[in-house]
Chain A
Amino acid sequence: MLKQFLIDRMLKQKQKEVHVDEDYSVQAYLERIPQYFNAEKAGNRCLTVVYEIHDSGDNDGVWTVSIAKGQCAVAPGEPERYDVLLYLTAETYRRILTGQMEITKMPYATGAVRFFGNQLAHQELNAYLTIPKDAHIAAV
């Protein structure tokens, strides 16, 4: 019981540390991803993850996060080939950023994110990041 109490307290503390305004910019958050990139974790891996935001007004758009040769970059637009394309609304992406929608099961199981391609590639991208506390997000 004590262990569970401590876990709950730790999770609540973590939830307090994340914050994304409701009128946030998807693009601004995606463009920060290279800052969190951990080349040591990624090794020689090449990975391309596309985010397509729909039905979200000014946040609509397509961005590509690419990992190759120990570098991470974000650019607007969709490439010819990708590992996965995430098709989602800005509201859903905000829930991913804040950790309200943990990325291993919820986006897929609820259909809140439609995955085109290899759905594990999104989790893999997150595995190659080290997100600092002052980013106030849980995942990308």
Chain B
Amino acid sequence: MKQEMTGKERILAALRRQPVDRIPWAPLLVPYTIAGFPKHAPHRVAEAMRTVGCDIWTQALIDRVGIWMPKPKSGVEAIKYFAEGDLVTGYKTPEGAITQREASGCFGSMTIPVDYMITTPQDLRIYRSVLENSFLYTADISDHYDWEADFVGQDGVITDVGIGLTPFQTFVEFLAGVENTYYLLADEPVLFNEVMDLMHQQRLLQIKETAKRSKAEVFVNSENTSWTTMSPAIYEKYCASQLDDYADILHAYGKLHVVHMCGKLSCLAPLIAPGRFDAVVDIAPPPAGDTELWEAALWSPDLAVKGGIGCDVFLSSDPRVCYDKACEIIENTRGQLGVLLGSGDSIPHGTSMENLRAISKAVEEVGAC
């Protein structure tokens, strides 16, 4: 038996594909999960994870804000107001205005776009103008990191998700939606690619400025990658090399680069495997995804993987189902470096604390390496 490691040591070692005392158990437990717990249960993410026996893994934009904002006197102005409870944001420019509308998510989930900002070629032209007239605004909020770090201690890691997504995924997820993104790509390929390139250059600067000042050791791109929204060719053109560029910058500043890929990945695996990032996390088996963690663990000798327990298992009425799935993953990955037990995407709303404790019990009983 190896000397017992702290949660932080265990997670960082696994992400670096180094030996660990036992498999780390670091699911994506989020406010959406906690919203299904009893009212008086711990609600701070780190505290909830500690309570159910996880190694702590929190994802919040933590010690540096880095966002692109309109330059003063550029003629571009940010718009922000509320309409019937929804948040409307966007830009007013000499060429016209573009706005998006976000609504509160149900069951304590994140806010979700209900009207996209970019749906027509004219919107895309306006957005290019916004990008051309923006500057990188960064702000130090390290006091917040320190507050979280004091609380988490050596029990885990506080990851930074403030570095955004690749431009293409930003369009798919937030700015345009799946259908509009592909229509814009088909109808205005030159303009679309100009915007992608411009966004990528800005993202590189944003990541560099954030990474060089941040105390966080782990950075996460919340890509939500899935072949249900992109083909292998699209991934190769718009995501693979972009993620590699982010990895190179983060590595230059001594950071670990993790990519959240919670969708269906099987046919993208040959393109994901050579990526220069350190880990792919929140890998989902069926039904939400299509990849078991032990399958992903074989993708590459240079890549760590986290995830493995699917939403249907978490929602089982019998904690034994969770225990058994955890044991299955542990047995099927035993002896491999770079494996972290976690959730396929985030732990769904409605998961009981008993189910999470059952997985913690499995990790304790059979998870030693």
Binding site for B on A (CB under 8 A): 3-4, 7-8, 11, 45, 54, 83, 87, 95, 100-102, 105-106, 108-121, 123-124, 127
Contacts and interface: CB of A to CB of B under 8 A. Distances in A.
A119 B111 contact: yes
A38 to B, nearest CB: 13
8 contacts: A45-B82, A101-B144, A106-B61, A109-B31, A110-B45, A110-B60, A112-B44, A127-B82
Given A3-B135, A102-B141, A120-B102, A114 B31 contact: yes
Contacts of B194: none
B157 to A, nearest CB: 14
B96 interface: no
A108 B32 CA distance: 10
A81 to B, nearest CB: 14
Contacts of A95: 147
B103 interface: yes
Nearest to A121: B85
A109 B59 contact: yes
B147 A108 contact: no
B160 to A, nearest CB: 11
A124 B82 contact: yes
A105 B261 CA distance: 22
Given A3-B135, A105-B60, 20 more contacts: A7-B138, A7-B139, A8-B140, A11-B139, A11-B140, A45-B82, A54-B40, A108-B110, A109-B59, A110-B44, A110-B45, A111-B31, A114-B43, A119-B108, A119-B111, A120-B85, A120-B103, A120-B104, A123-B87, A127-B81
A4 B82 contact: no
Q: DSSP majority for the B interface?
A: mixed
A87 B143 contact: no
Contacts of B86: 120
Contact of A106 (B30, B85, B136, B144): B144
B34 interface: yes
A7 B48 CA distance: 36
Given A105-B61, A111-B48, A121-B85, A4 B144 contact: no
Residue among A11, A54, A105, A108 with most chain B CB within 10 A: A108
B315 interface: no
A8 B60 CA distance: 21
B85 A115 contact: no
B111 A120 contact: yes
A7 B137 contact: yes
A100 B105 CA distance: 25
Contacts of A108: 31, 110
Contact of A119 (B80, B81, B104): B104
Contact of B85 (A54, A110, A113, A118): A118
B104 A118 contact: yes
Interface in B11-60: 30-31, 34-35, 39-40, 43-48, 58-60
Nearest to A100: B143
B148 interface: yes
Contact of A120 (B34, B87, B138, B147): B87
Contact of A110 (B58, B82, B103, B138): B58
